[in-house]
Amino acid sequence: MKCDVCGKSFGSGKHLKQHQRDLHEIVDRNVKKPALGVLKRSKKPVIIGVGIATAVIVSLGVYTAIAPQGSSPLAIDGVQCNAFEQLLFHVHAHLDVIINGRYFVVPSQIGIIPNKCFFWLHTHDESGIIHIESPANKEFTLGQFFDIWGKKFSNSQIFEKAVNGTKNNLNVYVNGNKVPNGVNYRDIQLHPHDEIAIVYGTLPSSIPSNYNFPEGL
């Protein structure tokens, strides 16, 4: 029996059919063969899908390579909020807010957005300790901290309390030393282990001049 395509002889019809099926892609007339167009069309979604998956993987790889680790688009006054605490520059200052002779509790979690990010200036507890944790050694100010806190602060106002003549005045002390009135209080820089006291209205019995930071801070 000869193949009507290539003329090769075979001893049985079974071998001929096997030859035609393997070499010439000819199947038994009784078996319906999918149209060539159908086969081609069926492969297109697979090819397209693989191409899309490859593009996504490449894009993710490029983004991972160029994106800053722990970066976040959120920032206030140039102070960023990162997914992780930045420890390259890590110092602490202490803040007291005294209103009419009474200490105001500086809340915990200022500058911390739960499950999202940490601003370079933040608090962990109600001790009044400001954690300054930045990826670079730079100066930060009291005004930046209040903006991150979301509270009003200037030479004429603390929270909703405004200066009113000589009775309700506002002063700031750094390590027990009164800051001159001509200085913009918002520009006061936060230095390691500074004790900063903001005093509004009635003076307390004494102005704090230092703070006993826990060991290691």
* Domain residue limits, the chain: 13-66, 75-200
DSSP per residue, 95-127 = EEEEETTEEEPPPTTTTEETTTEEESEE-SSSS
* pTM strictly above 0.75: no
Instruction: Indicate the fold that domain 75-200 takes in CATH.
Output: Ferric Hydroxamate Uptake Protein; Chain A, domain 1 (2.170.130)
Residue 88 has pLDDT above 80, yes or no: yes
Cβ contact 97:104 at 8 Å: yes
DSSP per residue, 197-210 = EEEESSPPSS----
Q: What was the pLDDT predicted at 7?
A: 66
CA distance 213 to 192: 11
Q: What was the pLDDT predicted at 18?
A: 65
Nearest-CA neighbor of 158 among 68, 98, 109, 117? 98
Per-residue pLDDT tens digits for 101-120: 999 999 999 999 999 999 99
Residue 19's Cβ-count burial label (10 Å; 0-12, 13-18, 19+) is middle
CA distance 52 to 56: 6
The dihedral built from the CA positions of residue 167, 168, 169 and 171, taken in this order, carries a sign that is: positive
CA count, 13 A, side-chain hemisphere, 207: 18
Residue 43 has pLDDT above 50, yes or no: no
Q: What would the mean pLDDT of 111-139 be, rounded to a whole number?
A: 97
Q: Which helix (H) or strand (E) holds 159?
A: none
Tell me which amino acid residue 5 is.
V
CA distance 132 to 119: 9
